[in-house]
Chain A
Amino acid sequence: MLAEPLTPVQDTPRTGAPLLEMRGIRKSFSGVAALDGIDLVVHAGECVGLCGENGAGKSTMMKVLSAVYPYGTWEGQILWEGRELRANSIRDTEAAGIVIIHQELMLVPQLSVAENIFLGREPTRHGQIDFDAMNAQSQVLLRRLRMGHINPAEPVSHYGGGEQQLIEIARALAKNARLLILDEPSSSLSRSEIDTLLSLIRDLKESGVACVYISHKLDEVAAIADSVTVIRDGRFIGSAPMSGLSPREIIRMMVGREMTNLYPREPHEIGDVVFEARHVTAFSRHDRSRKRVDDVSFSVRRGEIVGIAGLVGAGRTELVSSVFGSYPGEHTAEIYIEGRKCAIRSPRDAVKAGICMVPEDRKAHGIVPGMAVGHNMTMATLPQFARHGVLDVDSEGRAIDHDIAAMRIRTASPALAISNLSGGNQQKAVISRMLMPKPRVLILDEPTRGVDVGAKYEIYRLIYELARDGVAIIMVSSELPEVLGISDRVLVIGEGRLRGDFTNDGLTQEQVLSAAIGADTSDAHPAQTAGQL
């Protein structure tokens, strides 16, 4: 799974004081320890990979460092260039040169790209915002990120998730960071965007900027990090130079045991066709003459796992959300369940017909942030736990407890607001919400985004269990190894069209990739496309 190691790892012994030293950091939330004595050392120009399972405490550690949790709300010591840092707010840490890019995007969608980049530090002339200077400087920054095609004057909401992530990074660069913290920056980026990001970090390292890189994609960590620090359940497990480690060893440190098999593929019975979508067409929301999905038809059998692969922006999400009745733009689709035509005009119709979908963007479409973990899980199936609209709190509670245990969701209590959970645990809660209606067809759009290896394995196992029970599964994923690792059949989407329908029997990444970019399978260029998805 490891991409070619892109930087030769320097193992030069460091001299002089480190740029940052965090010692024995402890932090607890209402009595439950989230961090229990973690150390972290970063030298100037060094990139440290911070690894750990969902809920291990990575984001919390970085929030301590960047004073999202101000000095005094945690214990331990932070030394910045050898002196103790007691920051009360993000302003203080940013003044020192510590800049954090949070796991969840923090852009103001209505403001322009440039306004977002310079939010709070707008260049002024005669007391007025100097928009020309702001746009020009933004343009320079964006070019550095090889994002010259983005217009700084346009609202951020006009750009997709990956582009927004890079805009967020441009914003961090504009702050003259000396230590850049990236909390899962790549989860919504395409392969080429990730490459841009990694080479940018490499440039920054050369100019002396240090960084802390958090990612569940260990191949990225391997490619960019000079050393790795692993935490588990809020405890410090170890720190080591990258050169001495393989992703396999990092995984072992993270989960505390050997993981022999990443994809628990099992033989299972595949029955008759249960689900059929014919002539799915979806138009762009902004430009109604542009088709995002162009006349795609496909079917799925009982117990079959169909992976949908394609490049980011190929129209996979548009395809499945049109099927589910949630695509916001104009779209048409004929849906048949067990041969019977179903009119699906809304997600509600779809759920009633036995089709459930776990959406791609957890924050925007998945969680209800202020609501309890439990209600987030039962939201789609509440009538099951009710008589005449009145909830049977006990049976609801039992179902919640059961699923929290079965999915191993790490939460202090089912009544805790879901926004307090780590990203991966939020994802598990959203998945379990869509399993509760016991769907006949389950659509999973990027189900393992931001999920750690252990939880990924559990999600895969769950998918297999569902398949064994006869559920038809459609899984959209940008991670090709995952698609190939668990699907029975792979559909390839390119520019809104169905470009390939392969039985996953010795299927290779190259075959899928050349179908995705529209090349004839017979003259694929494996060398050029390997690892590009």
Chain B
Amino acid sequence: MTSTTSSALRTAPQQVSTSRERMRSAIQAAGMLPVLVLLAVGFHLLGGYRFLSGQNLSIVAQQAAINIVLASGMTFVILTGGIDLSVGSILAASAMGGLIVSLMHGFGFLAIPACLFVGLLIGAINGVLIAGIRIPPFIATLGTLTAVRGIARLMGGDRTVFNADLPYAWIGNDGIAITSTLVIPWLAVIALLVVVASWFVLRRTVLGVHIYAVGGNPSAARLSGVRVGAVLMFVYCLSGLLAGLGGVMSSARLYAANGLQLGQSYELDAIAAVILGGTSFVGGIGSIWGTLVGGLMIAVLTNGLVLVGVSDIWQFIVKGLVIIIAVALDRFRQPAART
């Protein structure tokens, strides 16, 4: 700090404090946004000016959508200091459930509710294991990750279930046409709605504050009369439900589901999005907007690397490095929290 700024501070502390405060909070809210923009522009320049075309952007949005929905649920869970490793498996099981119901004559309209129900049910099981029996979240959801994967395979007799006349296929393939080239896919609309609803719950409801309180100091929350168990139950149910919604979205896109392959390691991308978004792994600190930006970053990377012509193997390496560097930069940017 130079002496000139300091004398300014003393003459008009209030003024300086507010404008500075505003700038700092703006930077904090923006988080990874500059990195996201930088990546997009970089890919545009390197990839023959195709990246920022309307068509490609709607592909990116589509690719990002499912991960953002899963990551939204993951944000709630991580805010309470937990983790949900089972979302990929839940997505597979619920997609299987949806397709099977859609093939039942006369019950096709129940396909989407079936997807959501499967997700909610498994989420509730996670919730009971964690809030009721008090199994650590990592272990409980590691268990359901494995078991539900098996169930998903069992549901289709370990074969791909296919429905060419999937009643809700429009969700995965249509969108709102703005111009002839620019279409906003329904998948992206759903993801955005989920993000906005999540923001509302987290920032504008009693439950939201309680989620932050449980993550920040469960003991203080309990002593203040917060129902810690109910809050945990809610976040795992929600994460399951949103994974079920992810099942709707991916089966709608593919007209098919395979219990073995669908949703493999989706939980890792969801966790990466939350972490890139700056949510603290120990709970209590974070925001859904960060998760949105984090999810977009992962999609931009995936799409951009293909566009630029990076080989499959190098895509993994580059993606991993970017995640690590981005979070490291973030640590560097934030004021040192040493105590």
Contacts and interface: CB of A to CB of B under 8 A. Distances in A.
Interface stretch (A202-210, A374-382, A402-410, A480-488): A374-382
Contact of B204 (A32, A72, A357, A391): A391
A102 B339 contact: yes
A11 B209 CA distance: 56
Interface string B40-74: 00000000000000000000000000000000000
Contact of B205 (A26, A391, A434): A391
A239 interface: no
A393 B17 contact: no
B306 interface: no
Interface in A353-375: 357, 359, 364-371, 375
Contact of B10 (A33, A382, A393): A33
A28 interface: yes
Contacts of B222: 326, 346-348
B209 A390 contact: no
Interface in B300-339: 336, 338-339
Interface string A442-477: 000000000000000000000000000000000000
A392 to B, nearest CB: 9
Interface in A65-80: 68, 70, 72-75
Contacts of A506: none
Given A368-B216, A369-B284, A391 B209 contact: yes
Interface string B1-14: 10100100110010
Given A365-B220, A369-B217, A30 B21 contact: yes
Contacts of A63: 339
B188 interface: no
Contacts of B179: none
B134 interface: no
Contacts of B206: 382-383, 386, 389-391
Given A75-B6, A368-B212, A370-B216, A352 B225 contact: yes
Interface residues of A, number: 50
Contact of B339 (A68, A375, A378): A68
B239 interface: no
Q: Which of B212, B224, B225 has the most CB of A within 10 A?
A: B224
Contacts of B227: 348
A319 to B, nearest CB: 16
A495 to B, nearest CB: 26
B133 interface: no
A108 to B, nearest CB: 15
A297 B286 CA distance: 46
A33 B204 contact: no
- The dominant DSSP class at the B interface is helix
A428 to B, nearest CB: 15
A200 interface: no
A333 B220 CA distance: 22
B285 A370 contact: yes
A67 B210 CA distance: 36
A371 B284 contact: yes
Contacts of A359: 220, 223
A390 B205 CA distance: 4
B151 to A, nearest CB: 33
Nearest to A430: B220
Contact of B213 (A30, A31, A368, A393): A368
Contact of A366 (B9, B205, B207, B220): B220
Contacts of A370: 212, 216, 280, 284-285
A351 interface: yes
Contact of B221 (A68, A102, A364, A379): A379
Given A364-B219, A391-B205, A380 B225 contact: yes
Contacts of B216: 368-371
B220 to A, nearest CB: 5
A95 B113 CA distance: 65
A379 B339 contact: no
B159 interface: no
A412 interface: yes
Interface string A246-266: 000000000000000000000
A121 to B, nearest CB: 19
A44 B17 CA distance: 39
A347 B20 contact: no
Contacts of A366: 220, 223
Contacts of B208: 391
A433 interface: yes
Nearest to B207: A389
A344 B209 CA distance: 25
Contacts of A433: 224
Contact of B9 (A33, A326, A357): A33
Contact of B1 (A73, A90, A389): A73
A268 B136 CA distance: 51
A389 B207 CA distance: 7
Contacts of A347: 222-225
A28 B280 CA distance: 26
A464 B220 CA distance: 26
A390 B9 contact: no
B205 to A, nearest CB: 5
B217 A367 contact: yes
Contacts of A351: 224-225
B37 to A, nearest CB: 26
Interface in B241-261: none
Contact of B224 (A33, A72, A379): A379
Contacts of A371: 209, 212-213, 216, 284
A32 B17 contact: yes
B226 A412 contact: no
Contacts of A352: 225
A412 B17 CA distance: 9
A191 B24 CA distance: 45
Contact of A386 (B6, B205, B224): B205
Nearest to B229: A346
Contacts of B210: 379, 382
Nearest to B337: A419
Interface in B272-296: 280, 284-285
A379 B226 contact: yes
B290 to A, nearest CB: 14
A391 B207 CA distance: 9
A28 B13 CA distance: 10
B16 interface: yes
Interface in B13-30: 13, 16-18, 20-21, 24
Nearest to B214: A368
Nearest to B17: A31
Given A31-B17, A32-B17, 10 more contacts: A28-B6, A33-B13, A70-B336, A347-B225, A348-B222, A348-B227, A379-B226, A391-B204, A391-B206, A393-B204
Interface of B: 1, 3, 6, 9-10, 13, 16-18, 20-21, 24, 204-210, 212-213, 216-217, 219-227, 280, 284-285, 336, 338-339
Interface of A: 26, 28, 30-33, 36, 63, 68, 70, 72-75, 90, 102, 324, 326, 346-348, 350-352, 357, 359, 364-371, 375, 378-380, 382-383, 386, 389-391, 393, 412-413, 433-434, 437
12 contacts: A28-B9, A33-B9, A33-B10, A348-B226, A350-B225, A351-B224, A364-B219, A370-B285, A379-B220, A380-B226, A386-B206, A390-B206
Top 7 nearest A-B pairs by Cβ distance?
A31-B17, A368-B216, A351-B225, A380-B224, A382-B206, A370-B285, A348-B225
